[in-house]
Amino acid sequence: MVALLMSPARLNQTWVLRISSAVLLLFVFLLGVKGLGDGFKLLGNDLIQDFFTATDDPFVGLIIGLLATTLVQSSSVTTAMIVGLVAVSDNPLPLANAVPMIMGANIGTTVTATLVSLAHMGRKEEFQRAFPVAICHDVFNYMSVLVLLPIELATGFLRKSATLIATLLEGVGGFRYESPLRSLLDTGFVPIRGLVEALFSTQNGQATFLMFLAVCFIFFSLFFLVRTMRSLVHDRVEAAVHRALGSSAIFSMAVGMMVTVMVQSSSITTSLLVPLGGAGILKLRDAFPITIGANLGTTITALLAALAVSGPNAVAGLEIALVHLLFNILGTVIIYPVETIRRVPLAMAEGLTRVAVRSRKTTVVAVAAFFYGVPALILFVARVL
């Protein structure tokens, strides 16, 4: 309505401002990824090795990815950090250790929609419709991990496939994995490095502050990027979701992927489905393929983060981003096409909803414990032992 009252010139200025803001925020995000890698390099081998030791256990790595994502409410932040750690030139995070962390981030991203569904608890019928729409995403991602993590641990299939693809990309047509953004990022990083060196004389002090600054850059740039992108495409997002209702599964997945790429947040896409489900507009079977598309769309952030890394391990950053993409593609291919398997996450979502409706207060406690309490306890026990 406000847009209709604006003059064409004013409307164009608003669009230019928002698009410019989005580009600037994306640049800040990439600076954050670069800063995180540089900060880890400054920390030195001992501290980095201590961190990597904690992730040698694939199950602990899975929990780290899950807990980190639930705490910052963004798998994009977690995957961007993982890309930066893998691409560090000195003592990088091994790709094998990073794969379970990526899988954990995939599970953690489902928490937002689940929390949104709890807002419907005061109205039993709404909650009964909204809750399964939210948790079908949880169940699907857990199933993907339960199937693919053992295969990955036994064969290294995802890791080897990503390495092969990255190698092929390097060799096709003389292409080399060298982002045109890197020189621009190096230039933009000069004043940041100068500020850090001016404030701290010790290497550890510089590293700690640089990593803190990098995490702030990543978190806040993505937060405001999501808001900016949502304001740019809000009407188109809602229209796209409504067009997907009752359409083919492939189209619904494409809509979920497209919306997530536009707003750079799978949480927004899946959270948008919850009130539609609660209102009875969107049925569970129609929401399911849209959430799968959101999973695929969120992999773009890791691929963007791979553009920011440089040095001898730059390709490793691309490889873990490709692992994220392959994991989501394979999860979709394994679970969705066969109707018998496809029914499993839907049946589980409906079954868990029947339990949740009987004791809604217990459900709140269970969700909090499941996403926050249990992962934190497991990490604590793993550190003690």
- pLDDT score, position 329: 95
Classify residue 173: in a domain, yes or no: yes
Classify residue 11: in a domain, yes or no: no
308 vs 104, residue with greater confidence: 104
Averaged pLDDT, 280-288:
85
Strands in the chain per DSSP E: none
Statement: residue 89 has pLDDT above 80: no
Classify residue 8: in a domain, yes or no: no
**C-alpha–C-alpha distance, residues 39 and 44, integer Å:** 9
Q: Write out pLDDT tens, residues 100-145.
A: 999 998 888 888 788 878 878 878 888 898 899 989 998 999 999 9
Instruction: Say how many Å lie between the first and final Cα of the chain, rounded.
Output: 59
Classify residue 24: in a domain, yes or no: yes
Averaged pLDDT, 3-10:
54
Domain count within the chain: 1
Query: Which residue, chain included where needed, has tokens 């929990």?
Result: 63
Q: Are 45 and 92 in contact (CB under 8 A)?
A: no
Classify residue 235: in a domain, yes or no: yes
Query: Which of 51-65, 292-306, 331-345 tops mean pLDDT?
Result: 331-345
374 CB-contact burial (10 Å; exposed 0-12 / middle 13-18 / buried 19+): middle
Q: Lowest mean pLDDT: which of 149-153, 186-190, 325-329?
A: 186-190
**C-alpha–C-alpha distance, residues 385 and 383, integer Å:** 6
DSSP state of 198: H
Statement: residue 199 has pLDDT above 60: yes
The two three-digit tokens of residue 189, written as one number:
């990083």
Q: Are 95 and 327 in contact (CB under 8 A)?
A: no
- pLDDT score, position 369: 79
363 CB-contact burial (10 Å; exposed 0-12 / middle 13-18 / buried 19+): buried
Closest-CA residue to 62 (of 7, 120, 142): 142
Q: In angstroms, what CA-CA distances link 203 with 31, 39, 151, 189? A: 20, 10, 41, 17
Per the prediction, the chain carries an average pLDDT of 78
Classify residue 225: in a domain, yes or no: yes
Radius of gyration of the chain from its Cα atoms, rounded to whole angstroms: 21
**C-alpha–C-alpha distance, residues 108 and 74, integer Å:** 8
- On the CB side of 69, how many CA atoms lie within 13 Å of its CA? 29
**C-alpha–C-alpha distance, residues 305 and 316, integer Å:** 12
Please enumerate, as own/partner, the contacts of 337-345 that have beta carbons within 8 Å and a separation of 24 or more.
Answer: 342/288, 344/139, 344/143, 345/136, 345/139, 345/140, 345/143, 345/288
The two three-digit tokens of residue 80, written as one number:
């961007």
Q: Where in the sequence is the domain holding 248, given as residue range(s)?
A: 20-384
Q: Are 258 and 297 in contact (CB under 8 A)?
A: yes
Report the 10 Å Cβ neighbour count for 368.
Answer: 15
160 vs 115, residue with greater confidence: 160
Q: Write out pLDDT tens, residues 211-248.
A: 788 878 877 776 776 567 666 555 565 566 666 666 68
What is the pTM for the complete model shown? 0.73
- pLDDT score, position 51: 53
Q: Write out pLDDT tens, residues 356-375.
A: 888 877 888 888 877 777 77
Q: Furthest-apart CA pair in the chain: how many Å?
A: 66
Classify residue 236: in a domain, yes or no: yes
- Residues contacting residue 32 through CB under 8 Å, at least 6 positions apart: 80, 213, 214, 215, 216, 217, 218, 219, 221
Ramachandran angles phi, psi of 8, nearest 5°: -55, -40
- pLDDT score, position 90: 62
Classify residue 237: in a domain, yes or no: yes
- Residues contacting residue 348 through CB under 8 Å, at least 6 positions apart: 139
- On the CB side of 305, how many CA atoms lie within 13 Å of its CA? 39
Statement: residue 170 has pLDDT above 70: no
